[in-house]
Amino acid sequence: MAEEKVLEELGTVESSEAAYAVHWKEEDYYHPSPEFIGQANMTDPGIFERFSLENFPDCFREYAELLDWDQYWHTTLDTSDAPCWKWFVGGRLNACYNCVDRHLARYKNKTAIHFVPEPEDEPIQHITYQELYRRVNEVAAVLRDFCGLKTGDRVTLYLPMTPELPITMLACARLGVIHSVVFAGFSGQACGDRIWDSESRVLITIDGYYRNGKLLDHKANADVAVETASNQNVNVEKVLVWKRYKDRYVSQAPMVEGRDYFMNDVLKNYARATVEPVSMPAEGILFLMYTSGSTGKPKGAQHSIGGYLSYVAAMSKYVQDIHPEDVYWCMADIGWITGHSFIVYGPLAVAASSVIYEGVPTYPDAGRLWRIAEELDVNIFHTAPTTIRMLRKAGPDEPLKYNYKFKHMTTVGEPIEPEVWKWYYHVVGKGKAVIVDTWWQTETGGFLCSTVPALKPMKPGSAGPGVPGIHPVIYDDEGNEIPPGAGKAGNICIRNPWPGLMQTIWKDRDRFVSTYFGKYNKDPNSKDWRDWPYMAGDAAVMAADGYVRILGRVDDVINVAGHRLGTKEIESAALTVEEIAEAAVIAAVDELRGRIPHLYVSLKPGYEPSKEIEDKVSNAVATILGKIARPGRVFIVPDMPKTRSGKIMRRILAAISNRGDVGDVTTLANPDVVEAIRTQVQG
Ligand code: PRX
């Protein structure tokens, strides 16, 4: 099979996940029901013609017109600073106004956010658009008047899945303050590094939150974050601490006099305050979202106001098919891009009622999600393959016991195996809901490939073609196009810019240009967008029908349970352990989590392998980066397989972990070590 041959070639890319992609066969199409089509937001097949490259870039006006603008733009796309594209130049708007204020006239008594606490005996909170408006205004007043924050300042939000997170984000957006949300599951140190990079003078956090039946002390982590940033000369002047329960403080960490303030107390001085939304240029910055790349330093993807919001609003309306009457539930964490785009900004821009669930999907049992869906009458459901695999394992028949009815479901974040897709379709969706498999990235703001659900059939395991306005292409390493249907994998790129694409990497334009455009740019001085295809960093195959199947990352990134981790970050964390001389991490295939990190380490002279050292390494990674990065296995090996020039051959370690073919090792500097490691790992 041609595809297998190319997968072998891709296997030479170090630490490539794609090298271990399962070899899938072509799957049959599944069609949306007439009932779904009858109610869908987008049923006009002409949309693809309207968004053809001939109509680029003006086609994107159609998305921007979903928003309310204070002032219309004069230039749809400005390419003068290629490839830092500027969209809707001259336009002015406010993101918070578009997600909240403009809905009041029709929907003020409608629920904007249903907050479901993890403890099942705590009542669900239903926050109407009117209440959201009031709470966002009060928080905006605190940020402006108590913290002195103004347009363009950065503020770090280290908050879990409670309504305080979107409320604080929207308050920032109201002022034109740039938020940088750090996933609450990241360690305090990881948060501190992001505070440092964004130079945030204010940190907003919470005392604690529930996960898996435990009340976690989050303020203690926030203190570590502040200390980490201050060790790098960024002093956080104010820490605002939300309380999980209004009447008690659930953290053991002391409040620091003159630095830490309870948000709930400060808010009392701003009861019913209103703050005018600041009219921002379309090209202003809405937020930074840090993500892992091929160096040890996470990069701050910088997203615009006008372009980003137009794009996610359109994706929520046309791909997710959200109507104001729907109850929409995305299970992602707001601390990742999925939550930003598809819990907060996209759904609220289209006046959705959006569910926020604090806890883990299977707590206290595999029926929890379906009870929530039944109680709130959720009809649009959005989650990741890892969660679907977990739910399938924990309670394969559970969904059928509950009387909820989904019309639409999304999968995102990792490739989904066709048999997992089919369980999602038949059991979770009860054979009635459409599924969109949305492929995209932190950098891209919104979806790149997916079916438009009423217009294109589904194909298990394939994301689909480009969404309207996105023109994907697969290039080989030399920059030749691999035609659809060739059965050959290559690097997936997007031919054209689009409004959701990040503006740049915060404070690092060079890294932005080289990472995403370096390989296939035709002329570094060109101002013509055709010369700047965007390289996503994923390997993919495009079938004859234009549907794209994503195989995995081709760079030093591992996608663990849908969470993106940099191999260099994990390796650097391992190297902080005194005994460790060298470290190499690879992506091992895992039945539930898709990929998990296996960490190979060698010791400095004078140390002997031991369980204690393994644990030390594993704990160091969890402390420095967060529990999600904890390696599935740590192997202390006598030496790393190396080329004659001393480069560690991660590909060989990956082949050993995945019981694949290590290939020809005779040219290595130390070929004997390969067999020794294989025996150690595989037994
Ligand atoms: O490898 C792709 C995978 O997740 C990467 C992006 O990760 P992140 O920036 O954290 O964003 C995750 C949420 C969009 C991609 O480079 N990925 C994302 N969606 C899919 C996917 N792989 C296969 N199928 C998808 N639907």
pLDDT digits (tens, 9 = 90+) for 369-418: 999 999 999 999 999 999 999 999 999 999 999 999 999 999 999 999 99
Question: 29-94+306-554 with 127-278: one CATH topology?
Answer: yes
Once rounded to an integer, what is the mean pLDDT over residues 624-639? 95
- Average predicted confidence (pLDDT) for the chain: 94
285 vs 281: CA distance, rounded Å: 9
Per domain, the residue ranges of the chain are 29-94+306-554, 127-278, 561-682
C-beta of residue 668 within 8 angstroms of C-beta of residue 676 = no
Residue 24: which pLDDT band, with cuts at 50, 70 and 90?
low
Torsion (CA) 410, 411, 416, 417 in degrees, nearest 10: -30
Shortest-distance atom of ligand 1 to CA 536: 16
CATH number among 3.40.50.980, 3.40.50.2300, 3.30.70.120, 3.30.420.40, domain 127-278: 3.40.50.980
Once rounded to an integer, what is the mean pLDDT over residues 164-190? 97
Which SS3 state, helix, strand or coil, does residue 300 take?
strand
Residue 439 Cα to ligand 1 middle (Å): 6
Shortest-distance atom of ligand 1 to CA 440: 14
- Record: fold of 29-94+306-554: Rossmann fold (3.40.50)
Once rounded to an integer, what is the mean pLDDT over residues 643-659? 90
User: Across the strands, what pairs with 126?
Assistant: 114
Which SS3 state, helix, strand or coil, does residue 571 take?
helix
Burial label, 346 (beta-carbon count in 10 A; 0-12, 13-18, 19+): buried
As a whole number of Å, the CA-based R_g of the chain is 24
Residue 484 Cα to ligand 1 middle (Å): 21
Residue 200 Cα to ligand 1 middle (Å): 28
CATH 3.90.1480.20, domain 561-682, yes or no: no
Residue 415 Cα to ligand 1 middle (Å): 8
70 vs 90: CA distance, rounded Å: 11
Residue 493 Cα to ligand 1 middle (Å): 14
Helices (H), strands (E): how many in the chain? 22, 30
pLDDT digits (tens, 9 = 90+) for 529-554: 999 999 999 999 999 999 999 988 98
Residues with Cβ within 8 Å of 146's Cβ and at least 6 positions away in sequence, in order, are 261, 266, 269, 270
Once rounded to an integer, what is the mean pLDDT over residues 486-509? 96
* Stretch among 44-53, 121-130, 641-650 having the lowest mean pLDDT: 641-650
C-beta of residue 359 within 8 angstroms of C-beta of residue 212 = yes
Q: Whose CA is nearest to atom 26 of ligand 1?
A: 439
What backbone phi and psi angles, to 5 degrees, belong to 291? -140, 160
What is the per-residue pLDDT for 22? 52
Once rounded to an integer, what is the mean pLDDT over residues 196-208? 98
One-letter amino acid for residue 240 of the chain:
L
With the most atoms of ligand 1 within 8 angstroms of its CB, the residue from 299, 409, 412 to mutate is: 412
The question of ipTM being above 0.85 is answered as yes
Q: Whose CA is nearest to atom 7 of ligand 1?
A: 441
Q: Whose CA is nearest to atom 21 of ligand 1?
A: 414
Long-range contacts of residues 608-616, Cβ cutoff 8 Å, at least 24 apart: 609/636, 610/636, 613/577, 613/579, 613/580, 616/577, 616/579
**Residue in 541, 540, 538 with CA at minimum distance from that of residue 559:** 538
What is the per-residue pLDDT for 540? 94
With the most atoms of ligand 1 within 8 angstroms of its CB, the residue from 424, 550, 554 to mutate is: 550
Residue 407 Cα to ligand 1 middle (Å): 24
Q: Whose CA is nearest to atom 25 of ligand 1?
A: 439
One-letter amino acid for residue 309 of the chain:
L
Query: Which protein residues touch ligand 1 with a CB less than 6 Å away?
Result: 291, 337-338, 412-415, 437-442, 463, 536-538, 550, 552-553, 559, 564
